[in-house]
Structure 1
């Protein structure tokens, strides 16, 4: 079961004092806004670039757009060379590079948090860097923040995929994969942003990363310890494979201490296989043949963030899912359980992030500072059917959780730990994976969520 510290542990500590003060100042501050208040404006904005017209926008320096079944961005002619000293291998190498910078995007909601994600193929000897720069509501600008250095491989010619620590301008900070304003209570917001892709390859080669999608979820979810109860609208269960992370405890401890902390890649692998994709026998040849479900070990290895030292980097999981044939993947936030029901109704399961005390989720049997599970359906009574990887066996993975408990631990942004201290919640974070040829119903639901 997941017992590792939350991926937001540092952020939680930084915000705890301010949140505790707000919570104790007024009991009203610990309640959710009314549904009417929540409806006053949007809380989440998604913007992803993935079409040929998208790639033709913005500013290109050495890159070009490629049309076809899956429009993409590739290196056309590198604009320079740069040395990169990989902190995780100790090696320094020279790389050719080219860039694409998005147009300025002004989200519907001036944001307190932004999470970028991307879908790409990176052959051995190539990699990409995703960056974000924004303008605050007072007109001042952020620097270019690195949101991730990524490659799908980890061979001799590859860098090690990594987040970048210690990035702040004194007003915003990058916490592994999330840009977060340091003091949302001040009223300062991120009013606009641009994304920049830098594509790298070994000098003198014709290699190139191929990027199919990049974008970001910007949000301003208000502080809330509880959320309004929703009304059940759907009874459906999707046939999603079941994998337990706990059957991998002790396996490959170099990847986040083994299966005990593999909730995110285990959940990712379940959804990937739901869509009919899986690693090849050659992909899995490195795994000890004595280990069951080697694809879970494979997912952990290929989502591992060498700086974070964990497999829970949200965009890295989405990027891993998109390495499979014709798969799309994004990190987003959902407003409500109703949106999750609509996705399931269209045949799209979702991976959700939540944290809770043992007594807050009946039937879980554990508490966690941060855990991913896969929502695969809803009962006739509206309760949540989840494939919970924090289970003793594959057979035990399917769980039914009480609707009211589950929606609260998932959608809240503040919670109390076992010692009564205020900690953060994820506010509805979810990974969504789907094929490039979705049904009309699936396409409609995604479009309604602002995901294209």
Structure 2
């Protein structure tokens, strides 16, 4: 395995909010660029206090869980205080609904200015951010937010990452069901080109099933007969970002899980040692990583961005993963070398340690050092 080092790779601060009844109300016109034209919506709005980060962050990622019954949707925005001391504009971080009959779920491109830009699901602070506010606007009637968080981070430039010390989950493997995205090859190409691109929907569907959650039978009536796992198709539809034209929007993935009664958030972890604390607590973790096939032995493919579930660890500390890129359900469970996995997950040319943590509200999280 090579030399073992304990790594503290990035500065991460996770801020949790509990929005009360929104204080402002009014009406606004939405011009849906993906169809439906202009519609006037009544809305209620909640704005957080300004929250100090504690360091100069370069990226902020919000995440939320909510319910939006028919006739409602929500918008999440961020505003940052720059390292120069002034407040930025409000950036739209997502327009989201659990269904697709009222608005088209979407990130919002073209918001870049001198202070920052929105890269699909991430606010990139051009000159750093020392504090921020978050704003949630509920449109229509009946929408409510059950969880809201913002992850602020500063990931150093690092082409390679040293392997961390094995932690508390050695020999623990959670029984996460296995679903291959490739089993859905060519399905519903209107959502991210079909199942061959559905790594995030397949991963979220696996974790939902692990927790005994997911769409009801009636919600799957539109899925074609003979589909190997209709819940994966349902997740792809429910996570699709019409602007990004993909199903890998991080907050949308968590929000989809939230629509099935789970709690969740997006954050960055600093090492596999830290991730092991979740597995030891019985919580599988969904990871975002990128690599060439030789960089992750046993993968057999290359990817510029991929989502998979960490379900456990071998006694020696290697990663037991449910990798939806496998050709079939029977090949989804993989063992990846600890050092290789940690490197392609944490390095700056990858996601810098992004994870989705999804769990029932009654299942407690392990203790945190500040990033969840």
Give the distance between the partners of 2:185 and 2:218, measured in 1 at CA: 24
Number of residue-to-residue matches in the alignment: 366
Deviation at 1:111, TM superposition (A): 0.5
Q: 1:395 aligns with which of 327, 330, 355?
A: 330
Deviation at 1:171, TM superposition (A): 3.0
Aligned residue runs from structure 1 range 304-343, under 5 A: 304-325=240-261, 327-343=262-278
Deviation at 1:90, TM superposition (A): 3.9
Question: Is the Cα–Cα contact under 8 Å of residues 6 and 163 in structure 2 kept in the other structure?
Answer: no
Deviation at 1:374, TM superposition (A): 0.3
Give the distance between the partners of 1:294 and 1:449, measured in 2 at CA: 37
When the two chains are superposed, the root-mean-square deviation of aligned CA atoms in Å is 1.5
Give the distance between the partners of 1:230 and 1:133, measured in 2 at CA: 35
The runs of 4+ residues in structure 1 deviating greater than 2 Å are 442-445, 447-451
User: Residue 443 in 1 paired to residue 368 in 2?
Assistant: no
Higher-helix-fraction structure: 1
User: Residue 45 in 1 paired to residue 13 in 2?
Assistant: yes
Deviation at 1:448, TM superposition (A): 4.3
Give the distance between the partners of 2:365 and 2:296, measured in 1 at CA: 32
Q: Indicate how the Cα distance of structure 1 residues 448 and 275 shifts in structure 2: closer, same or farther if over 3 A, else same.
A: farther
- Match in the other structure for 1:238: 174
- Match in the other structure for 1:352: 287
The secondary structure found in structure 1 opposite 2:365 is: helix
Deviation at 1:368, TM superposition (A): 0.4
5+ residue gaps, structure 1? 1-33, 63-78, 183-187, 202-206, 415-424
User: Residue 150 in 1 paired to residue 96 in 2?
Assistant: yes
- Match in the other structure for 1:176: 120
User: Residue 293 in 1 paired to residue 229 in 2?
Assistant: yes
The secondary structure found in structure 2 opposite 1:308 is: coil
- Match in the other structure for 1:209: 143
Give the distance between the partners of 2:325 and 2:306, measured in 1 at CA: 9
> What's the TM-score once normalised by structure 1's chain length?
0.79
| Deviation readout 1:299-333 (Å, 9 max, x if unpaired) | 000000011001000000000000112x1010110
Deviation at 1:109, TM superposition (A): 2.8
Question: Is the Cα–Cα contact under 8 Å of residues 227 and 412 in structure 1 kept in the other structure?
Answer: yes
Question: Is the Cα–Cα contact under 8 Å of residues 49 and 55 in structure 1 kept in the other structure?
Answer: no
- Match in the other structure for 1:61: 23
Deviation at 1:449, TM superposition (A): 4.7
| Deviation readout 1:336-358 (Å, 9 max, x if unpaired) | 11111111011111110000011
- Match in the other structure for 1:361: 296
- Match in the other structure for 1:82: 28
Give the distance between the partners of 2:285 and 2:6, measured in 1 at CA: 24
- Match in the other structure for 2:355: 430
The secondary structure found in structure 2 opposite 1:315 is: helix
Give the distance between the partners of 2:142 and 2:51, measured in 1 at CA: 27
Give the distance between the partners of 1:275 and 1:107, measured in 2 at CA: 33
- Match in the other structure for 1:11: none
The secondary structure found in structure 1 opposite 2:312 is: strand
Q: 2:42 aligns with which of 96, 101, 120?
A: 96
The secondary structure found in structure 2 opposite 1:242 is: coil
Question: Is the Cα–Cα contact under 8 Å of residues 109 and 218 in structure 1 kept in the other structure?
Answer: no
Give the distance between the partners of 1:35 and 1:263, measured in 2 at CA: 30
5+ residue gaps, structure 2? none
Deviation at 1:61, TM superposition (A): 2.5
> What's the TM-score once normalised by structure 2's chain length?
0.95
